[in-house]
Amino acid sequence: MRLSVRGISRLIRSGLRSSHVHALLVQGVSAVFGLVTFICYARWMGPDNLGVLILFITAATMVDMIRSGFLQPGMVREVNGVEGEQAAEVRGSAQLLGWVSSVVISSLLVVLSATGLLSILTVHHQLFGWVWPALLVASFPGQYFTWQAQAESRFDRVLVYRTLNGSIMLACTILLHVAGVLSPVTAGLSFVAAGLVTGSLVLFMRWIRLSEILQASRSRIVALARFGRYSMTTTLGTSLLKSSDTFLIGGMLDATAVAIYGVAQKAVEVLDLPLRALSASVYPLMAGPGARGEATRVGRIIERVSGGYVLALILPAGLLFFFAGTLVEVMAGEAYLAAVPVIRVFVVAAFLFPVDRMIGLGLDSLGRPDVNLAKVMVMLACNIVGDIWVLTVWGSLGGVAAVTIGMSLVGLATGWFVIQPMARLSWRRARAVLRYWLMPSYLRMQLTKSGIGGARRHA
């Protein structure tokens, strides 16, 4: 069997309308703008300033993930089960909780900075004590919009949002460099400016409605908070799985080491971004059967998606492994060549992430965020202990990256052991999926299931 030219054309047209393709485009656009902006930082700032900025971005991203983890999974799960006024009630409750948490955290940071307590933790109190609180508030409308768009599978709107956001940040970076004032503080202010502009856009286009806050109810707030206490802690743990490396390197080594490690993480991001897009579009597919208690159906989704993604990793991972040195020179210059061995270790670890990520989503969709939390906490403990030991004994960035492989194996084994009795996962079936992904007929079937297909078969 083969696809005719007409069938391929129909496949492409339907694919461009698919939420999965839109989700992938969103991550692709974010990756392109993020990579180009990061290259500008690396080329124009120098290792010390770049290290400080990476610490700021890591801390800000971690808090954003905590906020997102507290509200997004519960909101997506609840909205998928209701319509009309009840859906507006869920959205309004989530939005109210989001605004309150943003203001509370921002106020706390301002108080810590004003009283001088923040200087105990960092000498960059202007960046962390004033720019960061402004960013937390300015970025919330856009962040909440992405949650709502995911619940509605409107990734086409997210694509517009991310394109504008990336364009603003890149333009600000170039202008700041031309003016000779590019620094971690001014770069942070460019994030605030991008948040204000894109937040104004989603409000002006009525992609989110502040008026829905009035429809918030105590029962919905309690339900979201109850579910969110687990998913938030899980998200915090997941964030710390990545950010703890950066914080520990910054505390036990120096800002230059943070910059080198950050270059390696940015280089390998190309392997993880499609998985993020896939996670965003697959979770709503799991949420339905998960809410109905159809655990084996969730298991089949885990097997199918994980197998296909691992297969798709082989070519880009191989290229990245062998051409890591060239990539680092292009991205940041010879001053960062120490990142090459770190990149190669990360490439190996990347093959463990898809199954682990899908198992985590499966546990959340089955209403077991507490179990997922336990899995993440075990992984986090292994990562922190391993990092401290490696940095104390050898001070090796490659060793820190190697700890990621061990941590991922522990998480994968733990997650598989926990979910297998419910979802009936099978290694044999998962291996079969790898073989079937290479067959055109199976590929067409999966594309159709994902809403991408629709092309008829032609002899």
What per-residue confidence (pLDDT) applies to 413?
87
Does 459 map to a domain?
A: no
Angle at the Cα of 182 (from 38 to 337), degrees rounded to 5? 40
Residues 320, 261: Cα–Cα separation, whole Å: 16
Q: What pLDDT is recorded for position 456?
A: 38
Residue 458: phi and psi, rounded to 5, are -130, 140
- Give me the sign of the Cα torsion angle 75, 79, 82, 85: positive
The pTM of this model reads: 0.79
Q: Is residue 457 situated within a structural domain?
A: no
CA atoms within 13 A on the CB side of 395: 6
- Listed in sequence order, the residues at least 6 apart from 90 whose beta carbon sits closer than 8 Å to its beta carbon are 75, 78, 79, 82, 220, 224
In-domain check, residue 120? yes
Of 216, 220, 82, 67, the residue nearest 147 (C-alpha): 67
For residue 410, give its domain range: 5-449
Whether residue 403 contacts residue 383, with contact meaning beta carbons closer than 8 Å, is answered with yes
Contacts of residue 446, defined as CB under 8 A and 6 or more positions apart, other chains included, come to 304, 308, 437, 453
Nearest by Cα to 151 from 232, 63, 66, 71: 71
Please indicate, yes or no, if residue 458 is contained in any of the structural domains. Answer: no
Q: How many domains does the chain have?
A: 1
Q: Establish if 455 belongs to a structural domain.
A: no
Which residues are CB-contacts of 413 (< 8 A; sequence separation ≥ 6)? Answer: none
Q: 3-class secondary structure for 86-135? A: HHHHHHHHHHHHHHHHHHHHHHHHHHHHHCCHHHHCCCCHHHHHHHHHHH
- For residue 314, being part of any structural domain is answered with yes
User: How would you write the pLDDT of the chain (459 residues) with one tens digit per residue?
Assistant: 454 555 545 545 555 556 667 767 777 788 889 889 999 999 999 898 999 999 899 989 888 888 888 888 788 777 776 677 888 898 899 999 999 989 998 998 888 888 777 665 666 778 888 899 999 999 999 999 988 887 777 878 888 999 999 999 999 999 999 999 999 999 999 999 999 999 999 999 999 989 899 998 888 888 888 888 777 877 788 788 878 999 999 889 888 999 999 999 999 988 887 777 677 667 777 877 877 777 888 887 887 777 777 888 889 999 999 999 999 999 988 889 999 999 999 999 998 888 888 888 888 788 787 787 888 888 999 999 999 999 999 989 999 999 999 998 998 888 888 888 787 776 666 666 555 555 544 445 554 554 444 433 333
pLDDT for 121 equals 61
Selection from 50, 379, 6, 357 nearest residue 182 by Cα: 50
DSSP 458: B
- Residues 6+ positions from 388 with CB-CB distance below 8 Å: 248, 252
- Token look-up 């093959």 returns 351
The reported pLDDT for the residue numbered 374 is: 85
Mapped onto helix, strand or coil, the DSSP state of residue 2 is strand
Distances (CA, A) of 322 to 36, 263, 404: 22, 17, 20
Residue 345 and residue 322 in contact, taking contact as beta carbons nearer than 8 Å: no
Which residue's structure tokens are 């991205």?
Answer: 331
Structure tokens at 28: 């692709």
